[in-house]
């Protein structure tokens, strides 16, 4: 089955001249089943972003392995991985349509122009940006620009979608709407999702499972299974188990957050 | 600033310049300033008009423009390559960057005599001075541009599996275009200044030489006419470059803004 | 550590290239490093360079002082009075992109061939960046600084002295640094024609008699002078910046 992620004993240690080694995270082991939606929460500086970069192949871990569908990922980005970042990654010199088409045009596979046009139109519809196809990112709001990044990533049909706090710079209302859209896109694409977020509510609302990381060096402290159906919407917050889940997470995270505040500058 | 208000500021400036010219005209015509020192603007314009019909003068103008253009092209290419190399290799950057950033204060024209001695009294040392004055600005701006590309763009391109060449051409180049335009404008200014300066100091031809010759010949009319030409050309070139920059960068906000 | 080795290697590379050029083209075209060094030593030890250096430096200092006073006052006025600033700034920028050397004949006609024209050249080159940077610095003073000063009960003079000038300090000194460097260039270029003294004159004189060792020696002196003065101004910047910081903290601590 496609989109099976297995992380084994992954570890990252930064060494710099004249200073002690910093253990960013690890050893960590976890997996994401095909089509599963998993979130990772943890205090600031616990290495969540670095973890995601190691999983994607952008960064090389100090030890341990990452497998996607049985293939070892090391030093190279696996073609079935897509990633959306917290910062705006849209190319300001291209229109929305050309942005979305970028990976198809200049990426790994050679996709014929007609197919590109079709895929881009489809992606624009999925993220609701059809009227803005010929606009430039500078003319769009932050939330819309994140949708462009999302569309650009999804149009390449990734089996594993990595999201590094994609909604962090957006206001709360936009965040909720984007969360709803993300659920929809997840269902439509059938991809596995690994999301990093600071918001416990967001994690519980969107995911099948939530992993809690400790303060540096980041280790997996806790795993929570939400048990939601695949069919969920953001109104799952009204479910009786919702608050209990969030509180359970906070109970674990609180100690880690305090430790992080104390030990990190 | 709205288009209308910028128009009225332009109007004020035009008014100021015209009043200044009018006063200058008056002062000269009334004889308050000797004609050996200053000539009236109308005489400057008239003399310039006549000069533009003389083959010799047009030839001099062409020589200067030719030299400035060549200096600009070389400086831009050299500057971009150097800027890219400094971005790529930090060892090179550590050695070269301090020199580049103080380059504007170094009297590079002091090397002009030596350049003449070894290249000959022709266009080559003139172009060389233009290049020497212009390439540092291009290199520094290219470097700054490359350094300010948000890392998220690089990461996204890598995730999409963009090849090295495509990355250079389709991500880095468009991303640094604003900085390249800034560098280009500065390089154009310095190339022109450098060429005129070299021609002024020592050269058998060109606008700079023609001005110097007119001065030595006590031909103040020609001298001022040519000075006026240089001012007009310089202002026009700057204006054209700003218009080009505006068109090329039309759709962008600043990179990385949310 | 590696940086210093790299820099040393770079210097040796340049010297090697220079020597190569001299050997290939002959010493009548490019003087050898050794010959240049010997001439340099001679110029300095015999005191020959003295009066010329004096001439150049004195012209420079006067031009910088003039450029500073004029540039700062006009820049301050234009920066604080927004409308005037908006009108004049593009004009000043346009003049900066002119090859100012084309104005030289006019200056020579007005000031004559003596030292005053050299001072004028330095002034023209130096005043423009000082004006522009001061204008920018004055314009960018955060409004809340002035409002805070008013709530603290400062009058206009005190506000200017203790809040506005320190806020503008780094912009002003960046302008002064650029202006001082360009003023030196202006003075030197000016001395390259119609002068009887000064380092610029020595350079042109060397061309006339095709004394390549003199050309190279004077060029070296000019380059070192420019870098030394640049470093001196940087030191002054550092000291002013620290003082500005002290003014600020004194104000808010009181």
Under 8 Å between Cβ of A159 and A128: no
Please report the pLDDT score of residue B37 as a whole number.
Answer: 83
C18 falls within a domain:
no
Q: Is the model more confident about C120 or about B109? A: C120
Q: Is A107 on the interface with B (CB under 8 A)?
A: yes
Q: Is A7 on the interface with B (CB under 8 A)?
A: no
Confidence band (pLDDT; 50, 70, 90) for A225?
very high
Chain A hits for B163, CB-CB cut-off 8 Å, are 106
C104 falls within a domain:
yes
Q: Which residues contact B144 (CB under 8 A, 6 or more apart)?
A: B179
Contact A137 B253 (CB under 8 A): yes
Please report the pLDDT score of residue B124 as a whole number.
Answer: 93
DSSP B33-50: S-TTT---HHHHHHHHHH
For helices A113-127 and A142-154, angle between their N-to-C axes, nearest 10 degrees: 140
Contact B234 C98 (CB under 8 A): yes
Query: How far apart are alpha carbons C219 and C249 in whole angstroms?
Result: 45
Angle in degrees, CA B83, B86, B90, rounded to 5: 160
Please report the pLDDT score of residue A207 as a whole number.
Answer: 94
Please report the pLDDT score of residue C196 as a whole number.
Answer: 87
Q: In what order do the strands lie in the sheet with A160-164?
A: A81-84, A160-164, A192-196, A37-41, A209-213, A220-225
Confidence band (pLDDT; 50, 70, 90) for C31?
confident
CATH number belonging to the domain at A5-80+158-263, selected among 3.40.50.300, 1.10.10.10, 3.30.390.10, 3.30.110.70: 3.40.50.300
Query: How far apart are alpha carbons A235 and A232 in whole angstroms?
Result: 8
Q: How many CB pairs under 8 A join A and B?
A: 74
Please give the average per-residue pLDDT across A65-74, as a whole number.
88
Q: Is the model more confident about A255 or about A89? A: A89
C22 falls within a domain:
no
Please give the average per-residue pLDDT across A258-262, as a whole number.
81
- The nearest CA of chain B is from the CA of A183 a distance in Å of 22
Contact B202 C207 (CB under 8 A): yes
Do β-strands A81-84 and A37-41 pair in parallel, antiparallel, or remain unpaired? unpaired
Scanning C108-127 for CB atoms below 8 A from B yields: 108-110
Of C101, C102, C219, the CB nearest to B114: C219
Q: Describe chain B by its helix, strand, coil percentages, rounded to 5.
A: 80, 0, 20
Structure tokens at A244: 């209990």
Query: How far apart are alpha carbons C78 and C157 in whole angstroms?
Result: 18
Structure tokens at A142: 């932050």
Of A85, A108, A152, the CB nearest to B155: A85
Do β-strands A220-225 and A63-68 pair in parallel, antiparallel, or remain unpaired? unpaired
Of B159, B161, B256, the CB nearest to A88: B256
Minimal CA–CA distance to C126: which of C53, C203, C55, C69?
C69
Residue B3 has pLDDT above 70, yes or no: no
Please report the pLDDT score of residue B258 as a whole number.
Answer: 34
Confidence band (pLDDT; 50, 70, 90) for A205?
very high
Our count of domains for chain C comes to 1
Report chain A's mean pLDDT, rounded to a whole number.
90
Q: Which residues contact C169 (CB under 8 A, 6 or more apart)?
A: C240, C241, C244
Query: How far apart are alpha carbons A218 and A256 in whole angstroms?
Result: 10
Query: How far apart are alpha carbons B157 and C177 in whole angstroms?
Result: 41
Under 8 Å between Cβ of C56 and C191: yes
pLDDT in tens, C157-180: 888 878 888 888 878 888 988 999
Q: Any idea where the domains of chain A sit in the sequence? A: 5-80+158-263, 89-141+148-157
Percentage of the residues of chain C whose pLDDT score is greater than 70 = 95
- The nearest CA of chain B is from the CA of C194 a distance in Å of 10
C52 falls within a domain:
yes
Q: Which of A54, A55, A68, A87 to mutate to test the interface with B (most CBs of B within 10 A)?
A: A87
Report chain B's mean pLDDT, rounded to a whole number.
89
Minimal CA–CA distance to B107: which of C198, A81, A124, A189?
C198
Minimal CA–CA distance to B129: which of B78, B191, B206, B65?
B191
Q: What are phi and psi of A85, to 5 degrees?
A: -105, 170
Chain B hits for C193, CB-CB cut-off 8 Å, are 200-201, 212
- The nearest CA of chain A is from the CA of B257 a distance in Å of 7
Of C29, C101, C215, the CB nearest to B200: C101
pLDDT in tens, A83-100: 999 999 999 999 999 999
Minimal CA–CA distance to A228: which of A8, A38, A21, A10?
A38
Chain C hits for B109, CB-CB cut-off 8 Å, are 189
- The ipTM assigned to this model is 0.89
C177 falls within a domain:
yes
Q: Is C80 on the interface with B (CB under 8 A)?
A: no
3-class DSSP assignment, residue A224: strand
3-class DSSP assignment, residue A30: strand
Cross-strand partners of A5: A32, A68
Least confident stretch, B32-36, B87-91, C69-73: B32-36
Chain C hits for B192, CB-CB cut-off 8 Å, are 99
- The nearest CA of chain C is from the CA of B225 a distance in Å of 11
CA distances from B55 to A55, A233, B48 (A): 71, 81, 13
Structure tokens at A176: 């909720």
Under 8 Å between Cβ of A32 and A15: no
Query: How far apart are alpha carbons C150 and C141 in whole angstroms?
Result: 14
Please report the pLDDT score of residue B255 as a whole number.
Answer: 46
3-class DSSP assignment, residue A80: coil
C138 falls within a domain:
yes
Minimal CA–CA distance to C105: which of B40, B45, B214?
B214
pLDDT in tens, A124-180: 998 989 999 999 999 999 889 999 999 999 999 999 999 999 998 888 888 888 899
Least confident stretch, A134-143, A255-264, B135-144: A255-264
For residue C65, give the CATH number of its domain.
Answer: 1.10.3720.10
Query: How far apart are alpha carbons B257 and B170 in whole angstroms?
Result: 20
Q: Is C24 on the interface with B (CB under 8 A)?
A: no
Domains of chain B: 61-248 (1.10.3720.10)
Under 8 Å between Cβ of A213 and A25: yes
Query: How far apart are alpha carbons B228 and A241 in whole angstroms?
Result: 82
Please report the pLDDT score of residue B62 as a whole number.
Answer: 93
Q: In what order do the strands lie in the sheet with A71-72?
A: A22-32, A5-14, A63-68, A71-72
> What is the Cβ-side half-sphere exposure of residue B8, based on CA atoms within 13 angstroms?
6
Do β-strands A63-68 and A71-72 pair in parallel, antiparallel, or remain unpaired? antiparallel
Report chain C's mean pLDDT, rounded to a whole number.
87
Chain B hits for C3, CB-CB cut-off 8 Å, are 94-95
pLDDT in tens, C35-73: 999 999 999 999 898 999 999 999 999 999 999 999 999
Distance between start and end Cα atoms, chain B: 22
C14 falls within a domain:
no
Task: Using the structure block, give the residue that is written with the tokens 């310089």.
Answer: B234
Percentage of the residues of chain B whose pLDDT score is greater than 90 = 54
Under 8 Å between Cβ of A191 and A159: yes
Element (H, E) at C22: helix C2-25
Element (H, E) at A8: strand A5-14
Query: How far apart are alpha carbons B111 and B118 in whole angstroms?
Result: 11
Confidence band (pLDDT; 50, 70, 90) for A18?
confident
Chain B hits for A136, CB-CB cut-off 8 Å, are 251-252
Please report the pLDDT score of residue B141 as a whole number.
Answer: 95
Minimal CA–CA distance to B154: which of B142, B171, B170?
B171
Structure tokens at B201: 């100091």
Please report the pLDDT score of residue B5 as a whole number.
Answer: 58
Chain A residue with the nearest C-alpha to that of B176: A93
Contact A106 B162 (CB under 8 A): yes
- The nearest CA of chain A is from the CA of B121 a distance in Å of 46
Q: Which of B8, B33, B113, B203 to mutate to test the interface with C (most CBs of C within 10 A)?
A: B113
Q: In this structure, what DSSP letter does residue A166 have?
A: T
Q: In this structure, how many other beta carbons lie within 10 angstroms of the beta carbon of residue B90?
A: 10
Q: Is B251 on the interface with A (CB under 8 A)?
A: yes
Of B150, B160, B162, the CB nearest to A87: B150
Q: Is A250 on the interface with B (CB under 8 A)?
A: no
Contact B106 C178 (CB under 8 A): no
Minimal CA–CA distance to B135: which of B207, B85, B200?
B85
User: Buried (b) or exposed (e) across C47-84, using 16+ Cβ within 10 A?
Assistant: eebeebbebbbebbbbbbebbbeebbebbbbbbeeeee
Query: How far apart are alpha carbons C231 and A212 in whole angstroms?
Result: 54
Contact A81 B163 (CB under 8 A): no
3-class DSSP assignment, residue A10: strand
Contact B161 A108 (CB under 8 A): yes
Contact B153 A102 (CB under 8 A): no
pLDDT in tens, C108-147: 888 888 899 999 999 999 999 999 999 999 888 888 888 8
Contact A93 B175 (CB under 8 A): yes
Q: In this structure, how many other beta carbons lie within 10 angstroms of the beta carbon of residue A40?
A: 24
CA distances from A240 to A41, A245, C30 (A): 22, 10, 89
Contact A156 B150 (CB under 8 A): no
C20 falls within a domain:
no
Query: How far apart are alpha carbons B88 and C3 in whole angstroms?
Result: 16
Contact C219 B110 (CB under 8 A): yes
């Amino acid at each position: 089955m496609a989109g099976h992620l297995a992380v084994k004993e992954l570890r990252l240690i930064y060494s710099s001249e004249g200073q002690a080694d910093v253990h960013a995270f690890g050893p960590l082991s976890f997996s994401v089943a095909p089509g599963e939606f998993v979130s990772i929460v943890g205090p600031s500086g616990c290495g969540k972003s670095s973890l995601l970069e190691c999983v994607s192949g952008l960064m090389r871990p100090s030890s341990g392995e990452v497998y996607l569908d049985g293939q070892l990922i090391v030093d190279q980005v696996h073609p079935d991985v897509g990633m959306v970042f917290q910062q705006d990654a849209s190319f300001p010199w291209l229109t929305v349509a050309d942005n979305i088409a970028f990976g198809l045009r200049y990426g790994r596979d050679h996709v014929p122009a007609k197919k590109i046009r079709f895929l881009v139109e489809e992606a624009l519809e999925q993220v609701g940006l059809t009227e803005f196809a010929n606009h430039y990112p500078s003319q769009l709001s932050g939330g819309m620009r994140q949708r462009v990044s999302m569309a650009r990533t999804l149009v390449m049909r990734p089996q594993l979608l990595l999201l590094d706090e994609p909604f962090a710079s957006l206001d709360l209302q936009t965040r909720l709407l984007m969360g709803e859209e993300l659920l929809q896109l997840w269902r439509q694409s059938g991809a596995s999702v690994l999301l990093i977020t600071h918001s416990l509510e967001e994690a519980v609302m969107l995911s099948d499972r939530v992993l809690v990381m400790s303060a540096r060096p980041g280790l997996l402290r806790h795993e929570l299974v939400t048990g939601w159906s695949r069919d969920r919407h953001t109104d799952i917050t009204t479910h009786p188990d919702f608050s209990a889940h969030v509180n359970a997470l906070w109970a674990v995270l609180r100690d880690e957050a305090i430790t992080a505040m104390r030990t990190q500058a | 600033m709205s288009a209308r208000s910028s128009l009225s500021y332009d109007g004020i400036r035009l008014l100021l310049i015209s009043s200044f010219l009018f006063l200058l005209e008056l002062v000269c015509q009334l004889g308050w300033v000797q004609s050996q020192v200053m000539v009236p603007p109308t005489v400057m314009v008239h003399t310039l008009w006549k000069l533009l019909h003389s083959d010799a003068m047009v030839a001099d103008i062409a020589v200067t423009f030719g030299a400035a253009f060549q200096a600009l092209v070389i400086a831009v290419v050299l500057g971009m390559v150097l800027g890219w190399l400094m971005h790529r290799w930090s060892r090179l950057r550590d050695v070269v960057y301090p020199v580049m950033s103080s380059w504007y204060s170094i009297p590079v024209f002091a090397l002009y005599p030596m350049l003449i001695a070894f290249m000959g009294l022709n266009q080559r040392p003139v172009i060389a001075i233009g290049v020497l004055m212009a390439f540092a600005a291009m290199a520094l701006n290219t470097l700054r541009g490359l350094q300010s590309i948000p890392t998220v763009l690089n990461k996204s391109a890598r995730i999409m599996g963009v090849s090295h060449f495509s990355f250079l051409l389709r991500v880095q180049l468009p991303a640094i275009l604003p900085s390249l335009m800034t560098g280009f404008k500065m390089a154009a200014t310095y190339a022109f200044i450098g060429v005129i300066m070299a021609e002024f100091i020592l050269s058998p031809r060109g606008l700079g030489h023609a001005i110097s010759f007119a001065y030595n010949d006590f031909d103040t009319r020609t001298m001022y006419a040519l000075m006026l030409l240089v001012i007009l050309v310089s202002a026009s070139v700057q204006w054209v470059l700003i218009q080009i920059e505006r068109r090329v960068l039309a759709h962008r906000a600043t990179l990385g803004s949310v | 550590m590696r940086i210093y080795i790299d820099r040393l290697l770079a210097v040796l590379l340049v010297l090697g290239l220079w020597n190569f050029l001299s050997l290939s083209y002959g010493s009548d075209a490019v003087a050898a490093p050794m010959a240049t060094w010997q001439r340099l030593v001679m110029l300095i030890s015999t005191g020959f360079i003295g009066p010329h250096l004096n001439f150049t430096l004195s012209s420079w200092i006067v031009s910088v002082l003039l450029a500073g006073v004029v540039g700062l006052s006009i820049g301050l006025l234009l920066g604080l009075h927004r409308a005037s600033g908006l009108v004049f700034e593009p004009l000043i920028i346009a003049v900066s992109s002119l090859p100012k050397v084309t104005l030289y004949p006019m200056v020579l006609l007005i000031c004559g061939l003596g030292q005053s024209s050299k001072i004028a050249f330095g002034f023209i080159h130096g005043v423009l960046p000082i004006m522009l940077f001061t204008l920018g610095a004055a314009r960018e003073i955060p409004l809340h600084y002035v409002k805070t000063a008013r709530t603290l009960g400062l009058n206009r003079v005190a506000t200017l002295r203790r809040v506005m000038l320190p806020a503008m300090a780094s912009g002003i000194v960046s302008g002064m640094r650029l202006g001082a460097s360009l003023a030196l260039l202006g003075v030197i270029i000016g001395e390259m024609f119609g002068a009887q003294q000064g380092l610029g004159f020595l350079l042109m004189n060397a061309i006339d008699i095709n004394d390549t060792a003199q050309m190279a020696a004077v060029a070296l002196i000019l380059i070192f002078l420019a870098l030394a003065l640049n470093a001196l101004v940087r030191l002054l910047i550092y000291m002013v910046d620290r003082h500005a910081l002290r003014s600020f903290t004194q104000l808010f601590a009181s």
